[in-house]
Structure 1
């Protein structure tokens, strides 16, 4: 891809996430992007991980301003971007950046990720919307605030050097490995996992049966893509590279579609 979309003038940047408006990742990201223009944070009032692109349709949404250009919303990550792009403000945004998520969003994770869901709500921007996640152990620890700052600076530099030109309704899903030892970056394909681990059943103190969703399955390599020297997002993170995956809204399998309509 040619890096040819330059941020040559000050822009309006919308920053959202699924970890909540006070999460260290979103605070670091907003701070790092401020030299590029006006940065407005609109994020859930509390953690909303796993909400994908869900919109709230059964109750009103109430944005509350908690600081200058910082708003907390009693809704989902996608709600935050939808409101911001459809009348909450009297100006338009040039770029949507979602994150920095606490933990990776690799492979099948993008189906559930609120971080990716928020970015997809920004898919109609003039620049590609970006979802950013930080991989690595214990990224939820308050001791890792500096890691988020370094990851946010990487995002700033990536934007400044020029965003890849993408077709309409595509976004970039970016996963950043342990910032202490980044080896570079790779454009990757979305990997896949084996079936999720079984659910865990327990009985609560009142004798009621409850269930925990099982852990995600293991990553599976695609030998065809590997033979073409194209690596997965899982491979990139495992080898300490930043993974940049272009993903799209249109999930139609056109090869299969054409065979069905012939």
Structure 2
């Protein structure tokens, strides 16, 4: 099996290195990742300048672009062979709820949505993850991903991926299939004046999770709930964002106005 690994934290990030080491027993692992951190780039592709993939080690490439660029290049001509699976991560920090709209980790996985097997986005959730204080957490998460893939990935409809969040805890409680939760409005931006007297702004932190039970899903919890209680969260995500529940009603309303 040929496995492509990408991320948004950069090619030298501890999460991607741990993931590559853990997955090598499953087949050929090729790492193609941004040369530096590209968090928050979602599914952005670079269209205004050329991309420059540089091989920095056997089966390891750095790209001066976005996470999605890395997967797009890899699947469309950078190599003379095809990949069987795309795995993005392991991200330094959770990608829960509304985060998937902005996440470069999820964006890279979505570029692999046409694989025969569902692409996977993997994130490590915990208070110390961003500071890289828990390298053993990445190793444990990577080991979990290895076992998950080795056991056989679940069948999904075309153009779907799996968004996986692994809590950085001493002992996992198991895994839960979850739905995408919801956050409150983001924290306000903060404004400062730089040393040259110019006004600058920092985007505010993400809002808190909201209890948002879904009708008909009485036995299924949100991704926030699973991670908060020590479970790995596994959420199927689809490319088609059409709201089919209201589609016909809107069609009827606009037909009457015509």
For the aligned pair, the TM-score class normalised by the smaller chain equals over 0.9
Matched, 1:84 2:77: no
1:214-257 Cα offsets, whole Å, 9 max, x none, are 11111111234486121000000110100000001100001211
The equivalent of 2:107 in structure 1 is 117
Aligned mate of 1:157, from 130, 147, 151: 147
Match of 1:146 in 2: 136
Secondary structure at 1:143's aligned position in 2?
coil
User: Aligned match of 1:206 in 196, 201, 215?
Assistant: 196
Q: Report runs of 4+ in structure 1 exceeding 2 Å deviation.
A: 140-143, 223-227
Partner SS for 2:162: strand
Matches of residues 1-262 of structure 1 in structure 2 within 5 Å? 11-225=1-215, 228-262=218-252
The unaligned stretches of length 5 or more in structure 2 are: 253-258
Contact kept in structure 1, 2:3 and 2:85, CA below 8 Å: yes
Structure 1 residues without counterparts, runs of 5 or longer: 1-10
Q: Residues of 2 paired with 1:21 and 1:41: CA distance? A: 8
**TM-score (norm: length of structure 2):** 0.95
What corresponds to 1:8 in structure 2? none
The Cα shift of 1:261 comes to 1.8
Shift of 1:158: 0.5
Change (3 A) 1:143 1:200: closer
Partner of 1:157, secondary structure, is helix
- Number of corresponding residues: 252
TM (norm. structure 1) is 0.94
C-alpha RMSD of matched pairs (Å):
1.1
Residues in 2 aligned to 1:143 and 1:218: alpha-carbon distance in whole angstroms:
24
